[in-house]
Amino acid sequence: GNSVTQMEGPVTLSEEAFLTINCTYTATGYPSLFWYVQYPGEGLQLLLKATKADDKGSNKGFEATYRKETTSFHLEKGSVQVSDSAVYFCALSVSGAQKLVFGQGTRLTINP
Amino acid sequence: DAGVIQSPRHEVTEMGQEVTLRCKPISGHNSLFWYRQTMMRGLELLIYFNNNVPIDDSGMPEDRFSAKMPNASFSTLKIQPSEPRDSAVYFCASSPRERRERQETQYFGPGTRLLVL
Whether the CB-CB separation of A48 and A63 falls below 8 Å is answered with yes
Mean pLDDT (chain A, rounded): 92
Q: What pLDDT score does A2 carry? A: 87
Beta-carbon separation of A44 and B91 below 8 A: yes
Q: What is the mean pLDDT of residues A12-39?
A: 94
Encode pLDDT of B3-13 as tens digits: 999 999 999 99
Name the minimum distance, in Å, from the CA of A55 to any CA of chain B.
13
Beta-carbon separation of A45 and B108 below 8 A: yes
- A28 against A109, higher pLDDT: A109
Whether the CB-CB separation of A30 and A52 falls below 8 Å is answered with yes
Range picked from A30-34, A100-104, B8-12 for highest mean pLDDT: B8-12
Which chain B residues are closer than 8 Å to A6 by Cβ? none
pLDDT at B89 over 70: yes
Q: If DSSP codes are grouped into helix, strand and coil, which group holds residue B105?
A: coil
Beta-carbon separation of A32 and B102 below 8 A: yes
A87, amino acid identity:
V
Name the minimum distance, in Å, from the CA of A109 to any CA of chain B.
18
Rounded to whole angstroms, the Cα distance separating B6 from B58 reads 22
Which of A44, A102, A106 is the best substitution to test chain B (most B C-beta atoms within 10 A)? A44
Beta-carbon separation of A51 and B102 below 8 A: yes
Whether the CB-CB separation of B81 and B18 falls below 8 Å is answered with yes
Q: What pLDDT score does B103 carry? A: 60
Q: Provide the 10 A C-beta neighbour count for residue B50.
A: 15
What percent of chain A is predicted at pLDDT more than 90? Answer: 78
Beta-carbon separation of B110 and A41 below 8 A: yes
Q: What is the mean pLDDT of residues A26-41?
A: 91
Q: What is the mean pLDDT of residues B41-65?
A: 91
Which chain A residues are closer than 8 Å to B95 by Cβ? 98
Q: What do you get for the CA distance between the two ends of chain B, in Å?
A: 36
Encode pLDDT of A56-70 as tens digits: 999 999 999 999 999
B76, amino acid identity:
T
Nearest by CB to B31, which of A43, A49, A98?
A: A98
- A28 against A56, higher pLDDT: A56
Rounded to whole angstroms, the Cα distance separating A59 from A47 reads 6
Rounded to whole angstroms, the Cα distance separating A15 from A83 reads 10
Rounded to whole angstroms, the Cα distance separating A11 from A29 reads 32
Q: What is the mean pLDDT of residues B58-76?
A: 94
Beta-carbon separation of B105 and A49 below 8 A: yes
